[in-house]
Amino acid sequence: SQRKLPAISKSDALKTANDFIRKVSPEILGEIQYQEQDMPLNVYDREYRFTYIRVKNGVPFPANSLTVGVNNVTGEVQSYYMGWYDDLTFPDTAGVMTMEKAQEVFKEKLGIQLVYRANYYEKDSKIYLIYTNVYGNKSIDAKTGEVVQYNYYCPYGETKMKAEMAKA
């Protein structure tokens, strides 16, 4: 089959994605934020993919997200994925330390180190020198200043995660 250039602009496809979310998940509209992806368009892709993350009290919660795929030739929604934790209680942001104080505490309690990292998304897989935290799975509690360990995975049964796949 012959490849076609996108007939639909990215901005029009984004409008379609936003309209689709408004239709199928109106209850989360006030809690999501579109995340612009700075990736070059692959001529073999048949869809634009738009990712949104949950934002609560003005603070991002990337563990909850949704992605909408819009066909770049027909303009129709092709896919929809929503990973969302229900029944979560978010602490309010009152009493969090300032960014300056957080930087001091982070440096004092966790430290930073210089490491090499590769960006495999770039054509030439360029190697970068970056500063990162010494302990990859530890952070500073924004209210108490104590070191906390976090995990990207939610213990089974502690909360329900809603994952929906829809093909249009």
Residue 119's nearest CA partner among 10, 33, 38 is: 38
User: What's the rounded Cα separation, in Å, for the pair 32 and 52?
Assistant: 6
115, exposed or middle or buried, with CB in 10 Å at 0-12, 13-18, 19+?
exposed
Position 154 scores a pLDDT of 45
Position 31 scores a pLDDT of 94
Encode the chain (168 residues) as per-residue pLDDT tens digits: 566 678 899 999 999 999 999 999 999 999 999 999 876 666 678 899 999 999 999 999 998 999 999 999 999 999 999 999 888 899 999 999 999 999 999 888 888 888 888 776 666 677 878 888 877 778 889 999 998 887 654 443 333 344 444 434
pTM: 0.72
Position 167 scores a pLDDT of 39
Which stretch of DSSP H or E encloses residue 101?
helix 99-109
Work out the number of other CB atoms within 10 angstroms of the CB of residue 75.
Answer: 16
